[in-house]
Chain A
Amino acid sequence: MFTYALNALLQVQVPGITERRITDIFKPLATPGEAERQAAFLTLAITGAIFIVVGGLIIYTVWRFRRRADDDSRQEPPQVYGSNQIEAAWTIIPILIVFVLIGVSARVIASVQNASPPPKALKIRLIGHQWWWEVQYPDYGIVTANEIHVPATPDGKNATYLELTSVDVIHSFWIPQLAGKMDLIPNRTNYMWIDPREPGVYVGNCAEYCGTQHANMLLRVIAQAPQDFKTWTLGQQQPAGNDAQASGAKAMFNSLACVNCHLVRGTPSVGKFGPDLTHLMSRQTIGAGVLVNDAKNLRAWVNDPQEAKPGCFMPSMKLTDHELDEVVSYLQSLK
């Protein structure tokens, strides 16, 4: 049995940054989401009107023609078989409505799907793994995980373009307040774009069932003011922290099996299976959003990841307390 003491801490608000947790698709803060909201509102208006008219008619009919207590049950009502005019009317009117909706869909599909990136747009390659996200910035040489830093763009001119693919099964990228879904499919590359209008953390989930821990494959898009974003990229481009005080801890880390799966740039740790740890401490969460990234959680996570995320591929390494202390202190030096 798992113990669940940790879960009280899950998804605690990270201090110092606006986190938009109510992911209402009708309150978009980016152009694709806004185009989708407009299409949605028009659809809702039309279907809502249909619901009121037809639903009202059904209820009226039921009420008006219910059999009364004083009714002569032997007397059948007039036998009406149909009417071609009425049939024609309720065939043609819905077809006209459908054509309006097709037109709207076509226009919005084209405006979202066929937008071409400006030459200087930020490009990000997002790769799905069971159950975390690998984020690559090819133009900056940065690799990180689970948290996608992008510049906020109040005027919408600095859109970020995403290339989506997967190394194992199908996942789906969904930040409701930014844009609708796009799947990450192995052996196929999909494209989409986002342009968050306001700085802040936009959260979302993997939206295609991808196995055991599908529920805990959480997504964070961190939109920053262009200046802050630049600072962040510069920080990420630095080699891994080489704190002299942590050299013993570093040696300990490199002597353990951690290095088989994780990459810390510029060290013997060159694994590729798990997330890149070069700047682990710059991330807000651990385990694709299951724990806030602080010392206590980090220690608990390294001790036994199966407790917070049962079924994930990082095993409990059964470290001794000493080893655990050293590994955590090394990880904490990776700023």
Chain B
Amino acid sequence: MATIDYPLDRPEPIAPEFSFSETLYNWVATVDHKRLGLMYVVSALFFLVVAGIMASVIRLQLAVPNNHVVGPDTFNRLFTMHGTTMVFLVGMPMVAGFSNYLVPLMIGARDMAFPRLNAFGFWIFLLGGFLLYFSYIGGGGLSGAGSAPDVGWFAYAPLTSKAFSRGAATDYWALGVLVSGVGSIASAINVIATAFCLRCPGMTLSRMPMFVWVMVVDSWIILVALPPLSAAQIMLELDRNLGANFFDTQAGGSAVLWQHLFWIFGHPEVYILIFPAFAILSEVIPIFSRKPLFGRPAMVGAVVAIGFISLGVWAHHMFAIGMTSWSNTFFAASSMLVGVPTGIKIFNWTATMYGGKLRMRTPLLFCIAFLLQFLVAGLTGIMLAVAPFDWQLHDSYFVVAHFHFTLIGGLVFGLFAGMYYWFPKVSGKMLSETLGKWHFWLFCIGFNMTFITLHFAGLLGMPRRIYTYYPGRGWDTLNLVASLGVIPQAAGLLCFVWNIVRSSLRGAPAGDDPWDGWTLEWATPSPPPEYNFEKLPVVRSSRPLWDLKHPQDPDWKFE
């Protein structure tokens, strides 16, 4: 037994003492994947709170008809900044953060393939966020019109042209998104190179943890889906600042070109965003069910299938632009087909729980809520893919409810599961289970209150992005309930923040392996040392720690 040498008990390393400025320097100049991963996640959480506050103001404004909390301009800026922030400054850094922290640990590596590129990626992402928010100060430009951008997060041309969007706000928007996109591409190349080139001995691709698999495919989608967005932003900036005519309908340009470029990026983007949740569930559900992931090859196959099919479904965002009936049918068909591998994933997670012994801890609760909510999101997605149904639902509150079900009910719940699961590894302290349960129930109830309701507003003809509406159209009660749902959600988030703060300071010590885990990150101390592993592990199956803990019944005999 001597060869599989990653002892679970070892002496605590002595933490060196640093002054404040040294600590600051160490964090700013770091190329350590764990610190960068943490900085990604912490900045993402910061932006989550900022954009969450924006969402609360939006809901406050819409709580009752004819409301005047904010005027139309402010409202339009709020939803633009909310959407852009959530997608580019919360979702994307969460992808990068989780994969940065965990991929090297899970494949038994000492760092990412390109540590300096990694640091570059993080700082350029932060610069992108800074550029976007600088629009509040500098967005007026020389003309003095406006502050933050108010073009919506998908910024349809020609609303973004100089004629309809004066000042510099839209330029800050385009540059912020472009620059943070460079960071995402850097981080994606890094994840792929790390997973391909730095796996520890014995870890073949078929033994690579599911989390890493999902993140590799996610990075692949980033690499092929982000350049169209960059291209669109470059064209937009050429239009706005050099007088080019890409989206100038007066010069014969096409307003639809922007939509194609944007959604060639935009639809894969929603898979980019949801994949970290897939990755997290594929680790958390098996551990808390005490069973291996059901149908691992099928799960890998489904992820790869999504990675390719999702590139061919973009025009389902454009059923109302008057495409030919053939194009509409094609994109309806491809959009429904992408539901099949997604369904396979839900089935396999359920089958993983089936026959297990479910430990009802906070991470698993978030996963179960994910499964039900993501099921709803998937099914409303099928409804939106049925083009004739979509002609009614498109750009209504039904769509708003649908994608919040995927991104909050799916992604955010998955991220919370991941944070409760890996927090002990990152900090060496356990999170409070009581506060965790409060967080879960408050957030789950509030979320469903807000977003189940909004589906019905959409079915009653309420379009999205309106800053006010008139009484008597059947939307009043629905909107009020939806707005009240903000309160439990905010309370839940407060529980979470308090839990993090309290547990970091005086949580119970976690030890190396609090959840009785099976992947390599649980074989190093919590928090892991800078070099991750004293001796690089050698693995023989996809559950190396299971093999170690069950020498009589190891996995490698069955794989």
A191 touches B322 (CB 8 A): yes
- Determine whether B347 belongs to the interface, using a CB cutoff of 8 Å to chain A: yes
Please, how many angstroms separate the alpha-carbon atoms of A71 and B360 in the complex? 13
A106 CA to B332 CA in the complex, in Å?
A: 8
- B148-164: CB near A (< 8 Å → 1, else 0) gives 00101000101100011
Query: Cβ of B387 < 8 Å from any Cβ of A?
Result: yes
The residue that A98 contacts in the complex, of B249, B291, B337, with Cβ under 8 A, is B337
A212-B291 contact given A51-B375, A187-B249, CB 8 Å threshold? no
Instruction: For A82, give its contact among B297, B329, B396 (CB under 8 Å).
Output: B297
Q: A190: shortest Cβ distance to chain B, in Å?
A: 4
Stretch at the interface among A170-178, A269-277, A321-329: A170-178
Which residues of chain A from 45 to 84 have any CB-CB distance to chain B below 8 Å in the complex?
Answer: 47, 50-51, 54-55, 57-59, 61-62, 65-67, 71, 76-83
Question: A91-B340, A180-B320, A204-B461 are known contacts. Are A187 and B254 too (CB-CB below 8 A)?
Answer: yes
With known contacts A40-B383, A43-B382, A187-B254, A22–B474 Cβ distance under 8 A = yes
**Contact in complex: B71, A172 (CB < 8 Å):** no
Please state if A79 and B292 are interface contacts (CB–CB under 8 Å): yes
Nearest CB on A from B493, distance (A): 25
Instruction: State whether A4 touches B353 (Cβ < 8 A).
Output: no
Q: Does A207 interact with chain B (Cβ within 8 Å)? A: yes
Are the C-beta atoms of B329 and A61 separated by less than 8 Å? no
Number of interface residues of A (CB under 8 A): 94
Tell me the nearest residue of chain B to A38, going by C-beta. Answer: B388
Tell me if A83 and B295 are in contact (CB < 8 A): yes
Say if the beta carbon of A244 comes within 8 Å of chain B. no
Q: Does B368 contact A (CB under 8 A)?
A: yes
Nearest CB in chain A to that of B462: its residue: A205
Known contacts A61-B350, A61-B354, A67-B358, A169 near B156 by CB under 8 Å: yes
Chain B interface size, as a band, is 35 or more
Chain B CB within 8 A of A182 CB: yes
Query: Does A183 make an interface contact (CB < 8 A)?
Result: yes
Interface string of A101-125 (1 = CB under 8 A from B): 1101110111011100000000000
B535 contacts the other chain (CB 8 A) = no
Which A residues are in CB contact (< 8 Å) with B295?
Answer: 81-83, 86-87
Q: Would you call B354 and A65 a contact (CB within 8 A)?
A: yes
Q: Roughly how many angstroms separate A78 CA and B474 CA in the complex, as a whole number?
A: 53
**B205 interface residue (CB < 8 Å to A):** no
A39 interface residue per 8 A CB criterion: yes
A130 CA / B158 CA spacing, docked (Å)? 12
25 A-B contacts, Cβ less than 8 Å apart? A21-B472, A43-B383, A47-B383, A61-B354, A76-B550, A77-B356, A83-B295, A94-B344, A98-B340, A101-B382, A102-B333, A110-B329, A130-B164, A176-B392, A176-B460, A180-B320, A181-B392, A186-B249, A186-B255, A205-B461, A207-B396, A208-B320, A211-B150, A211-B159, A215-B469
